[in-house]
Structure 1
Amino acid sequence: MPTSCPTGQHVHHDVYAAQCPCRAMLDLLANKWSALAIGILEDGPQRFGELQRLLQGVSPKVLTQTLRRLEDFGLVDRTVYPAVPLHVEYALTPLGRSAAVPLNQLRAWVENNIDQAFALRREA
């Protein structure tokens, strides 16, 4: 039976299948810091310090981990410029720009619906 999935578990990718590598990508994109970093990088390349300043509340460790994962999945490019001090910029790849479209819609939906969600929220 031919398979297109690297796991060999199924023919087509399916985020509902436990072993499908789609799950790791979905997990990455559903992460708030990933979604927010991609949103900031839509405006163009950013240095680490600027990303950290714009992503209020993120620790340097978490931002580093997030950017590494985004880079590992081919969503972000990291460019090092030889300078003193070292100059590093992060930018969306074409794949990252394509992921930015639905994430931008999700961020807008959240901003437009948060008041209603809080009004309907049940107290725990």
Structure 2
Amino acid sequence: MNKILTFVTALALIFTVNTAFAGSNNNKAVALLTHQVDRNTIQELKLNEMAYIQLKDLTKNYRAEAEVTKVLFASDAQTLATRLQELENRYTIELSKVLTPSQIEGFTQRMIIASK
């Protein structure tokens, strides 16, 4: 019984963290997903090799889906905006499975500094 309660509590915590992460860091996550991922990204975010590969795949897939969505819904601005928002939300959740919120925050800060 105790194991089940612990499991349910952990599951609820993970869901809460993912939901909060998706809502608060959506713009930051999208900035990261549109950024070219290279070996420098490993050092910036202190990623291991597996996380690097997952991040690279996520960014590639996000960009491809965003381009297809833009082509398909180019004539309907409202639907396009809705579909892009749905895409961003989905990939933000996927990104939260690969990176920690502090890694995304650190990356965002580096982008801000680099743009100055």
Please, what TM-score do these two structures have when normalized by structure 1? 0.38
More strand by share: 1
Larger relative contact order (CA 8 Å, sep ≥ 6): 2
- Which protein shows a greater Rg? 1
Give the structure-2-normalised TM-score: 0.40
Indicate the structure with greater helix content.
Answer: 2
